[in-house]
A and B are shown apart, each in its own frame.
Chain A
């Protein structure tokens, strides 16, 4: 059966081009891979190679022809035993059915686009309900956030031999911030691995190990250094399960301190919450209390998805009551109302929850009862808890340590517009870091970071209580 040679496209956007030159004449034998013609567009010249073998029976479009449509028949190839006489009216019919029907001639492309339009209206599935947090009524022990994180890792490593910890100074040094104190002694150097200072490399290595079924906990000495590893966190860890049609998940936890510490300057003092919260395929957690730090880290290690776990250096030394239960966890995706109130909702996460609580005490003295929500999970955000609170208080202030532009507060403001607009009695206010790189000077640093007084001022403003 004769085979039609079609005008090829050089790129998905090409619709026509010039047939500059035939390299073969009618009657020439053609093998697969032979260059048979040259085509050109305004951008490039390309050689057309034969895919099939046979004899060039007929040249349909001559050398030098301009504006030849993609997929137009430019020649006919005869297979063994055929002659040019066989072409006749057989040629058009011989075009592979699929070619004729699915070739994207311009009209077809448009038709396809329209056909595809309904797909765009498919709505996202409703968020899966998150299991309610188990209320813990048993005994508790006052524990620092630092030790709670260590205990979470140790317990999960005892329970699952595929869990291991890697990062800079996690082993012999016992952790740059002593979070991994004692783990090397208990689990040995195969499971507590000191890496070179090579964030991009060891993050990619951790992702590969996770693809192969291990459960790495990758510690960044601080999240500032994870910018070196951003490509693996986003392109490799977050996207691969989707790109593989669900075959290859990345059960890894990437953790370390995030945000400002104390007077360490601009390069060591950035909050990355909204950067990661932007990315589908990741969970992003940012606990405040030691109990949540432990319960969420345990959930993160057990989860089959990549988790960004944002800690805070200032919080490491603070103590909170933690349940005496090795199997106690906190569900991912659930915010927590840490103080009930009826006049204004204040959302915060990580170290800023402390500021929000202190502000609430101050506001209470002035007759305003604030409801403080510890977001805990930033992706997926527990919008239900926030919206329900706003339905009660009708006012909201968002507090974060990061910059204002495209920050978590911006996202919460958008959610309020979309889901709680009719319940609001005042526009939302954001309390954020000032929109500058963090300065070193003590007075300027204080001015740049959100303070308790800023939260009080914002809350009073949305209550029109000035």
Chain B
């Protein structure tokens, strides 16, 4: 990465009427470690997202997926590293670039792909589409199409966790484009005011659609956006799943211990356009290929695994085949599952009391 990840803004937490101290610099998280099984799990989870998204892109090209379709290719390390740090008490909510988050939450690739094709076997019975999928069972709260809207919602999930004393934490993902929305700052204020257990994961992939962070945001260091509220923040190499996981562990502990919200800025990159119809003229080919060739989270982790001696390249290739088979199965299901019955037009408008 061009910029070394940074960390900022620790704060002293007191009791009631606490005086918020000025943010003091905090040292970077120590070099993370993971055992062989964990490495392999991260690898597989990232690979599943990559292969799933490639297939979704292909199916979009074939006209099997309609409307908007925002692919997560390149950013896989962020959700996989974050997800590995939470448990079943915790809730996840994100924007419309959500396929990776759903797979990382353990949602069935078949149900996700079938939603993309608008079929009854999809998570929303085909009524939500790419941007609107949910799984109460997996604590995945969407899937929101309005930039920034998921941020107060995620803050509300944290409010509910605190209200019910579940010990749960809310992982609320947002992009670099969302940080300038007023409601994001409204949510930050309430989260800190009420010490809510929410981690704001800013996925900074450098562009909000076609506008770079430099052109959209007066504050360039997004991890410091919580500072005025006294919220600690940290910048993380979002292309390195181990760095993400280490930062996630720290942030989750902070929240679980009742210290209020936390900001993680993930420096990441999306290889594809903003959506399928984005020609991506706002960035150079060299920039994209540098990220793919030198910073790819999956390729880099495969090197780590092979060098550690726990698996060979052939082993990883075998794993790739397994993952491809899962994705092919999902794609087949998504095409075989029927369209929703016309009667579904009128269901689910209201909850039957």
Enumerate chain A interface residues (CB-CB to B < 8 A): 6-12, 32-33, 43-46, 48-49, 51, 70-71, 98-99, 102-104, 118-119, 122, 124-125, 164, 190, 195-196, 198, 200-214, 231-232, 235-236, 240-249, 251, 280-281, 283, 303-305
Contact = CB atoms under 8 A, between A and B. Distances in A.
B149 interface: yes
B279 A6 contact: no
A110 to B, nearest CB: 13
17 contacts: A6-B62, A9-B60, A9-B62, A33-B50, A33-B292, A48-B61, A49-B57, A104-B63, A122-B343, A204-B153, A205-B159, A214-B160, A244-B142, A245-B124, A246-B347, A304-B351, A304-B353
Contacts of B135: 247
Interface of B: 50-51, 54-55, 57-58, 60-64, 66-67, 73, 91, 93, 122-128, 132-136, 141-146, 149, 151-161, 163-164, 182-183, 186-187, 189-190, 193, 271, 273, 276-279, 292, 331-332, 335, 342-343, 345-351, 353
B152 A207 contact: yes
A32 B47 CA distance: 12
A206 B277 contact: no
A4 to B, nearest CB: 11
Contact of B149 (A99, A236, A304): A236
B348 A98 contact: no
Given A236-B149, A245-B123, A11 B277 contact: yes
A71 B346 CA distance: 34
Q: Which 10 pairs of residues, A with B, have the shortest CB-CB distance? A: A208-B156, A204-B152, A8-B61, A201-B186, A212-B160, A208-B153, A245-B125, A104-B63, A44-B279, A246-B348
A218 B134 CA distance: 24
B123 A202 contact: no
Contacts of A32: 51, 54
B189 A205 contact: no
Question: Counting chain A CB atoms within 10 Å of each CB, which of B64, B141, B159, B343 scores highest?
Answer: B159
Contacts of A71: 62-63
A33 to B, nearest CB: 7
A45 B155 contact: no
Contacts of B350: 241, 281, 283, 305
Question: Counting chain A CB atoms within 10 Å of each CB, which of B134, B152, B276, B351 scores highest?
Answer: B152
A201 B163 contact: no
Nearest to B117: A102
Contacts of A33: 50, 54, 73, 271, 292
B124 to A, nearest CB: 4
B157 A122 contact: no
A209 to B, nearest CB: 4
Contact of A196 (B151, B154, B189, B278): B189
Nearest to B185: A201
Given A8-B62, A243-B132, A204 B149 contact: yes
A281 B349 contact: yes
Given A209-B159, A211-B157, A195 B353 contact: no
A195 B124 CA distance: 33
Contact of B134 (A203, A204, A212, A240): A240
Contacts of A195: 190
A219 to B, nearest CB: 15
Contact of A242 (B127, B160, B292, B331): B127
Contact of B128 (A196, A245, A280): A245
Contacts of B132: 240, 243-244
B184 to A, nearest CB: 9
Contacts of B163: 164, 190, 209, 214
A140 B292 CA distance: 74
B156 A207 contact: yes
Question: Counting chain A CB atoms within 10 Å of each CB, which of B73, B128, B331 scores highest?
Answer: B128
B156 A210 contact: yes
A51 B61 CA distance: 11
A280 B346 CA distance: 11
B60 A244 contact: no
A211 B156 contact: yes
Contact of A202 (B67, B190, B353): B190
A244 B124 CA distance: 5
Contact of B345 (A70, A119, A243, A281): A119
Contacts of B353: 303-305
Given A104-B63, A235-B149, 11 more contacts: A201-B186, A202-B190, A207-B156, A211-B141, A211-B153, A231-B146, A241-B350, A244-B348, A245-B125, A246-B347, A303-B353
Contacts of A125: 346
B58 A208 contact: no
Given A203-B152, A242-B348, A12 B124 contact: no
Nearest to A123: B346
A196 B187 CA distance: 10
A98 B332 CA distance: 8
Given A201-B190, A204-B155, A103 B182 contact: no
Contacts of A164: 163
Nearest to B348: A246
Contacts of B55: 51
A142 to B, nearest CB: 31
Nearest to B153: A208
A247 B292 CA distance: 38
A240 B123 CA distance: 13
B342 A119 contact: yes
A60 to B, nearest CB: 16
A124 B346 CA distance: 7
